[in-house]
Amino acid sequence: MKILVAYDGSDSSKKAIEMIKNFAKKNDEVVLLTVIPAELVSSSFTKMLLPTINLDNFVGKNTFKERAEETLREIAQQLKGAISKIDVAVETGDAADEILLFAKHAMCDLIVLGYNGYGKEGRFLIGSVTDTVVRHASTSVMVVR
């Protein structure tokens, strides 16, 4: 089974990682995915928010992506032994859209994600990303609280 785990650093996505440790079988393939919001890597948008910091050095070197990949590799290390094949991926764009596209293109059998994350509105009910993924996924979705 190919399992996509969406990770955003929230408590519920950390619980999803713990859940997958116990849920996945040794021969399953797990892909850890983080989506960086497109506006975060837009230097003009970021400069508008943080005008006192020269972010050209960061944006030009894909630092956001590199840091996300490093975090996912650390998580993958924690899963080694329990799962034989673990890949990491970082996409940029709308989180729900990128999760759905990735799952479809990678032919994942299951999407695992947290109940709520760091949504734009800071919702405490089902997160907007989770809600969209559950409603539009072409495969099964496991939501972890």
pLDDT in the model for residue 49: 52
pLDDT in the model for residue 122: 46
CATH for the 2-144 domain, from 1.20.120.550, 3.40.50.620, 3.20.20.10, 3.20.20.80: 3.40.50.620
Which 3 state secondary structure label does DSSP give 133?
helix
Alpha helices (H) in the chain, listed in sequence order: 11-23, 38-41, 43-49, 56-60, 63-79, 95-105, 128-136
* Domain regions of the chain by residue span: 2-144
Residues 145 and 123: their CA atoms lie apart, in Å, by 14
pLDDT tens digits in sequence order for the chain, 145 residues long: 999 999 999 899 999 999 999 999 999 999 999 999 877 666 555 555 555 445 455 555 557 888 899 999 999 999 998 899 999 999 999 999 999 999 999 999 999 999 875 544 444 445 689 999 999 999 999 999 8
